[in-house]
Amino acid sequence: MKMLKSPVFLVAVSWSLYHLYTAAFGSLPALAQRALHIGFALALAFLLFRISKDESKKWVRAIDYLCAMLSMIIAGYIFVNVDRIGSRVWFVDGINGTDYFFGISLILLLLEASRRIIGNAMTILAVIFLAYGFLGDKVPGLLAHRGLSLKDMIDLQFLSPQGIFGVPLAVSADSVFYFVLFGAFLEVSGGGKLFNDLSFWLTGRYKGGPAKAAVISGGLMGSISGSAVANVVASGIFTIPLMIKTGYSRRFAAAVEAVSSTGGQLMPPIMGASAFVMAETLGYPYATIAFAAIIPSLLFYIQNFLVVHLQASKDGMKGMAKEDMPDIKKEVKDRAHMIIPLILLVYLMMGGFSLLTSAYYAIIATVVISFLRKTTRMNIKQVLEALESGAKQALQVAIPCALAGIIIGVISFSGLGLKFTEMVMGLSYGNLYLALILVAMATIVIGMGLPTTSAYIMGSILMAPALVTFGIIDLGAHMFIFYFAILSMITPPVALASYSAAGIAESNLSKTGWTSMFLAGSSFLIPFAFVINPAILLIGSPLEIVIVTLFTILGVFAFSAAIIGHVFTHTASIVRAFLIVASMLLIYPETITSLVGTGVLVITLYYQKLHQKKQLIVSEQDASLSKSGNF
């Protein structure tokens, strides 16, 4: 096979096999496990993302191969010296010349890999924090600290678990990689196609069917892939052309796909990498995080579904043509069994098995169960393709996590987190709502151009402590930041998911970004609701949870109707204003405001219904006059 001669293929498959081996026979010491993980990631990064597209120049390829080899040598160095490094006393024991060389080399390799994969935003941010670490004693005011020497920086970043090899990289190596690999196996075996076709079968024949299918498939596939951009690319090539064919504008179709794909990171049972980082940071079982995300994720997709439905009703759209509908009987017959590995994964996770073990057995089950049908049976080539694909996708998490470790190390050393809390307290004048707005805006700004995981890590380190000082529970504070880190993927001026969808739809990038933000309108209010009343996070009595959720759903409906400007019939500007007021009152999780909001919504809907009847009467009279020849 030609693929066996490809360095990219060999490194990617080796990386996946390494993780499967440690899952089956036991992990290495933590530092060695993480070092080999990032070594493979860096090697793959330099082979996959070239320094230049002009491969005719031998020096270009030589640099990439040299960087890839050096990455693995550094990983091997830590593996060999893991006992010495692990027994050191940080900032006390000496550092030899080899430590300096490999420590500096690893930092530079990470920065270059980040530049190639993620772009300039995160790379520049890491450089700024490195400079802040070195020059802290020269920074005036509240942000000053004693500063790091080169020895201290190498000690912190390279020889301790507080920097590059800290919590984010641990989560990538011990959890996220396996779930990404599971998603790759499920996709190659045909499970992904099953979810996509089921979505079209459920909604395709109804008005605005393709857009509704995009909403459902976005939640299903986004939960497994954990990447908004990857989900847009994977499902958007099918859903966006069908939405356009049905009658949606290119910009609207791209925005629907972007919003739907983005929310998948919030959807249990798997969610995105950020959820695993949150569980590790808070010291909670992952099931607790997934459980808390159930209602917020459902609210996200309810509002998305409502927006799509109301727009279809406004434009008088129909469902998909019969020839465009999938043959669901054949699809279910051929692929329905591929849902079993996902069920097994959830069962093992909820049954107390570790995330690593749960994902490992789900991967094995995917291969075994694929043999039940000829249409899904995985051969050696497909298994290798899944191993390669999983590693390539995991690259988008591993590099940002390692780079985030650099930033976290500097933040921890300098005490910047506590100082940021003081800044938030000062700027908000001790007002909770103003503090929430500041944190939300800061998280979105941080997330512009960054992967969700990186945005969440930065936001949680800097701003979660500030929210906790206001009496917000730690889970609520972290979920609030997590939610807005996700929304940063569709928020201009840098909206990665929206821009990816715009590329497929051939629509204007900027306008698509603003449309995506517009369509997700009520989603920007939901985090405020669950921070104020944790019942939306399933914390509270069953009755309270049900009541608060129902009121919030009504609020989401009101906001969606205001955004589209249609409920029963076209809404005037004053009606849209009343709908927004009703939405605000309903989403704010207090009984009195919710009851008042319900009253405003009922009156508004009643007015709209009367207006619709009046329009029908006028239309019938016009039609009658037209027939009689008096018109």
- CB of 94 closer than 8 Å to CB of 150: no
Rounded-to-integer distance, Cα 599 and Cα 597, Å: 5
pLDDT digits (tens, 9 = 90+) for 259-300: 988 888 888 888 877 888 898 889 898 889 999 999 999 999
Residue numbers of the domain that contains 618: 542-631
- pLDDT grade for 82, boundaries at 50, 70 and 90: very high
Give a yes or no: residue 559 inside a domain: yes
In the prediction, which pLDDT does 612 show?
A: 84
Provide the terminal-to-terminal Cα distance of the chain, rounded to the nearest Å.
76
Q: For residue 56, give every residue at least 6 positions away whose Cβ sits within 8 Å of its Cβ, in sequence order, or none.
A: none
Rounded CA-CA distance 337/153 in Å is 52
Render pLDDT for 411-469 as a digit per residue (tens, 0 to 9): 888 888 878 888 888 888 889 999 999 999 989 888 877 778 888 988 888 899 889 99
Question: Is residue 2 in a domain?
Answer: no
CA 442/CA 428 separation, integer angstroms:
13
Provide the pLDDT for residue 133: 92
Give residue-wise pLDDT tens across range 306-352: 998 898 888 888 777 777 777 777 777 778 888 899 889 888 888 87
What pLDDT is recorded for position 47? 93
Q: Is 362 part of a structural domain of the chain?
A: no
Beta bridge mates, 567: 569
Q: How far apart are CA 234 and CA 187, in angstroms?
A: 10
| Maximum pairwise Cα distance, the chain | 101
Percent of the chain with pLDDT over 90: 41
DSSP string, 501-569: HHHHHT--HHHHHHHHHHHTGGGGTHHHHHHH-GGGGT-S-HHHHHHHHHHHHHHHHHHHHHHHTEESE
Amino acid at 192: G
Q: How many CB atoms lie within 10 A of CB 451?
A: 30
Give the Cα separation of 54 and 66 in Å (integer).
Answer: 17
Residue 197 has pLDDT above 90, yes or no: no
Establish if 579 belongs to a structural domain: yes
Residue pLDDT, tens place only, 208-226: 788 888 888 777 776 666 6
Q: What is the distance between the alpha carbons of residues 348 and 355, in angstroms, rounded to a whole number? A: 8
What pLDDT was estimated at residue 106?
97
Residue 339 · residue 191 · CB < 8 Å? yes
Omega of the bond leading into 589 within 30 degrees of 0 (cis): no
Neighbour tally for 356: CB within 10 Å: 18
The residues, ordered by sequence, that sit 6+ positions from 619 with a Cβ below 8 Å of its Cβ are none
Q: Does the pLDDT at position 629 exceed 70?
A: no
Q: Read off the pLDDT of residues 114-169 as tens digits, 9 standing for 90 and up.
A: 998 887 888 898 999 999 999 988 888 888 888 899 999 999 999 988 899 998 89
CA distance 356 to 28: 14
Q: Omega of the bond prior to 269 within 30 degrees of 0, cis?
A: yes
Helix (H, G, I), strand (E, B) or coil at 173: helix
Please list, in sequence order, all residues whose beta carbon lies within 8 angstroms of the beta carbon of residue 124, skipping any fewer than 6 positions away.
Answer: none
Residue-wise pLDDT tens digits, 364-384? 999 999 998 888 899 999 999
Asked if residue 553 belongs to a domain, the reply is: yes
Pull the structure tokens for residue 616.
């029908």
* pLDDT in the model for residue 631: 44
Around 616, how many Cα atoms within 13 Å sit in the side-chain half-sphere? Answer: 8
Q: Specify the higher pLDDT residue, 432 or 195.
A: 432
Q: Give the pLDDT confidence of 494-527 residue by residue, as tens digits.
A: 788 888 888 888 888 888 989 999 889 888 999 9
> What's the full length of the chain, in residues?
631
107 Cα distance to chain centroid: 26
In 3D, which of 314, 239, 235 has the Cα closest to residue 563? 314
Closest CA to 128 of 458, 374, 418: 458
CA-to-CA distance for 221 and 73, rounded, in angstroms? 37
Residue 546 scores a pLDDT above 60: yes
d(CA 354, CA 146): 40
Report how far apart, in Å, the C-alpha atoms of 136 and of each of 144, 315, 415, 506 are: 5, 58, 11, 47
Tokens of 381: 């080539």
Q: How far apart are CA 268 and CA 184, in angstroms?
A: 18
Query: Among the residues of 49-146, which ranges form H helices?
Result: 58-80, 82-86, 97-117, 120-134
b/e code 506-521 from CB counts within 10 Å (16+ = b): ebebebbbbbbbebbb
What's the confidence (pLDDT) of residue 569?
Answer: 86
**Which residues lie below 8 Å from residue 588, measured CB to CB, with a gap of 6+?**
528, 529, 532, 594, 597
- Is there a contact between 98 and 30 (Cβ–Cβ < 8 Å)? no
At residue 292, the pLDDT reads 93
In a domain, 615, yes or no: yes
What is residue 338's predicted lDDT score, i.e. its pLDDT? 87
* Host H or E run for residue 92: none
Per-residue pLDDT tens for 64-76?
999 999 999 999 9
Task: Tell me the backbone φ, ψ of residue 28, rounded to 5 degrees.
Answer: -75, 170
Query: Is position 564 within any domain?
Result: yes
Instruction: Please provide the average confidence, as pLDDT, over all residues in the chain.
Output: 87
Is 593 domain-assigned? yes
- pLDDT band with cut points at 50, 70 and 90 for residue 54: low
Domains in the chain, number: 1
**Is residue 539 very low, low, confident or very high in pLDDT (cuts 50, 70, 90)?**
very high
Q: Which tokens in the block code for residue 534?
A: 């944790």
DSSP 430: T
**Rounded Cα distance, 196 and 394, in Å:** 22
Structure tokens at 156: 């912190």
